[in-house]
Amino acid sequence: MKINQTVLVVLFLTLSSSSIGVFGGNLFDDLHCSWGNGRSKIVNNGQLLSVTLDKVSGSGFESNGKYLFARIDMLIKLVSGNSAGTVTAFFLSSKGKGHDEIDFEFLGNVSGQPYTVHTNVFCNGEGKREQQFRLWFDPTADFHKYSILWSPHHIVWLVDETPIREFKNLESKGVPFPKNKAMKLYSSLWEADNWATRGGLVKIDWSKAPFKAFFKEFRAEKYNCDWSKGYPSCTPPSRSIFSFWTSPDKFFKTLDHGAMGKLNRVKQNNMIYNYCKDFKRFPNGLPKECQYN
């Protein structure tokens, strides 16, 4: 059956508008500046958010709502120029003892050197699952989309729709997986020159301050979860934009052949650290999930 191109465009826009936190929506609806004494700001009638780091303080924002299984997307333009010693964080986290967390952290660089993307996942307060990557573009020249897909089946980190990491639910193998604690989205720009750039060898040049990063077009697509019986029964978003290309159920369960190919190319060409290869760090044996992820 031949489908009119106009119909496809209308369908795409309809599916997009069904999302929670639609791209192009008002950021005030979903986010608020949470710290930094005015250094974090939502401007342009709710279309742009900026975070600032100076010698006095960093700054950040958080989501108004919590999520238990979701896909989170946002366009980010990172600190330009000499950003050595700075970290721009974009992550999901619960609060309290034994917290869960899913991290994107962008480690600053001396001007002209590539950014490092630092990823990690915590379950019940335990992390130590770091993987790091070099981006294949200049993330300071323009906005790029960074996404966290968190489903009951796996966690996927994506950059411009390219998966760079997958952490599977391997509870059946005795590996903890974050599934019981709702998380908020947090983001911040802060000083970490004791470790961020070349292991802390390169410090912040405060003469380059203030440092700024920019965010826009937030979207969060939540699972549909029934909490009436305690631990919820959850299903993927029924009108997900992703169902325009594939079924939401499949999308949130596993990476297809094409996505796996992209993931493997990133691992081969852009990964610079993998905790599952760090035998010095784990002399008594690698974490159990390293056999499978």
105 labelled catalytic: yes
Clarify whether 101 is annotated catalytic.
Answer: yes
The DSSP result for the chain, as a single string, is ----HHHHHHHHHHHHHTSBS-TTS-GGGTEEEEESTTSSEEETTTTEEEEEE-SS--EEEEESS-BSSEEEEEEEEPPPS--TTEEEEEEEE--STT--EEEEEEE--STTSPPEEEEEEEBTTB----EEEE-SS-TTTS-EEEEEEE-SSEEEEEETTEEEEEEE--GGGT-----SS-BEEEEEEEE-TTTTTGGGTS---GGGPSEEEEEEEEEEEE-EEE-TTSSPEEE--TT-GGGGTS-HHHHHH---HHHHHHHHHHHHHTEEEEGGG-TTT-TT---GGGGT-
Q: Check 105, 191, 221, 289 and give the catalytic one.
A: 105
Catalytic residue among 62, 101, 161, 191: 101
Residues acting as catalytic residues = 101, 105
